[in-house]
A and B are shown apart, each in its own frame.
Chain A
């Protein structure tokens, strides 16, 4: 397995609370991504990073922010969680050539 760890694995939170998901890699890869997976929508890109402090928006970035202060960590923050953000969140990493994405095990987030 590529060295990628997501935390927490499961979280239940209330509407309106802030939530931060963490993705940690030990591969020293350049690219890191956050996707959400929902039935009928496949995987949708939220934000991605192409280097430390270099991030960009994906398809569904509203309501989410990210930070990457060091190569190994990519944080996804829901500023004020809503029920529509209930989903499974996957982090992925890739080297410079982007020959393949390696995915973490996912975080199942439930917003009540």
Chain B
């Protein structure tokens, strides 16, 4: 059974700093997803990583996937306050009828 773990669970950082959120998963997963959630809101899709070595970037966020290490990272470059949110990773398999398992989430707080 796939298990997905994120760390850290809470991250407080200063504007302008860089940091990385880690997502480890327990068994083979075809693909890895990243989502953002603002307080009281729904989840917004950020990235889907489909193969080993995949890297995707959008603005100050960059996600990568290492299937051999069963690890995905979400790197934040020069954080700004607008990036404050909770970030979730999720693992799944196209062969497993679309079932997706989420990590616990990482709450990011960016301070001025």
- Using a CB–CB distance below 8 Å, which chain A residues touch chain B? 30-31, 33, 35, 40-45, 48, 50, 56, 58-59, 90, 92, 94, 97-106
CB-defined contacts of B25 to chain A, threshold 8 Å: none
Q: Is A45 a contact of B98 with CB atoms below 8 Å?
A: no
Q: Is B104 a contact of A100 with CB atoms below 8 Å?
A: no
In the complex with contacts A50-B97, A106-B42, A101-B33 CB distance below 8 A: yes
**Total B residues in contact with A, Cβ cutoff 8 Å:** 22
A-B contact count (CB 8 A): 60
Apart from A43-B88, A104-B42, what are 16 other A-B pairs with CB-CB below 8 Å? A30-B98, A31-B98, A35-B102, A40-B104, A41-B104, A42-B103, A42-B105, A43-B43, A43-B90, A45-B99, A56-B97, A56-B99, A58-B99, A99-B48, A105-B41, A105-B42
7 interchain residue pairs of minimum CB distance: A42-B104, A43-B102, A31-B98, A50-B97, A100-B45, A103-B43, A103-B42
Tell me whether B78 is interfacial, beta carbon within 8 Å.
Answer: no
CB-defined contacts of A43 to chain B, threshold 8 Å: 43, 88, 90, 102, 105
CB-defined contacts of A56 to chain B, threshold 8 Å: 97, 99
CB-defined contacts of A50 to chain B, threshold 8 Å: 97-98
Nearest CB to that of B93 among chain A residues? Answer: A98
Measured CA separation A45–B99 after assembly (Å):
8
* Main secondary structure on B side of the interface with A: strand
Measured CA separation A92–B33 after assembly (Å):
14
Measured CA separation A40–B98 after assembly (Å):
24
Q: Is B42 a contact of A42 with CB atoms below 8 Å?
A: no
Q: How far is the CB of B8 from chain A (nearest CB, A)?
A: 13
In the complex with contacts A42-B88, A42-B103, A98-B45 CB distance below 8 A: no
Nearest CB to that of B2 among chain A residues? Answer: A59
CB-defined contacts of B43 to chain A, threshold 8 Å: 43, 90, 92, 101, 103
CB-defined contacts of B90 to chain A, threshold 8 Å: 43, 101
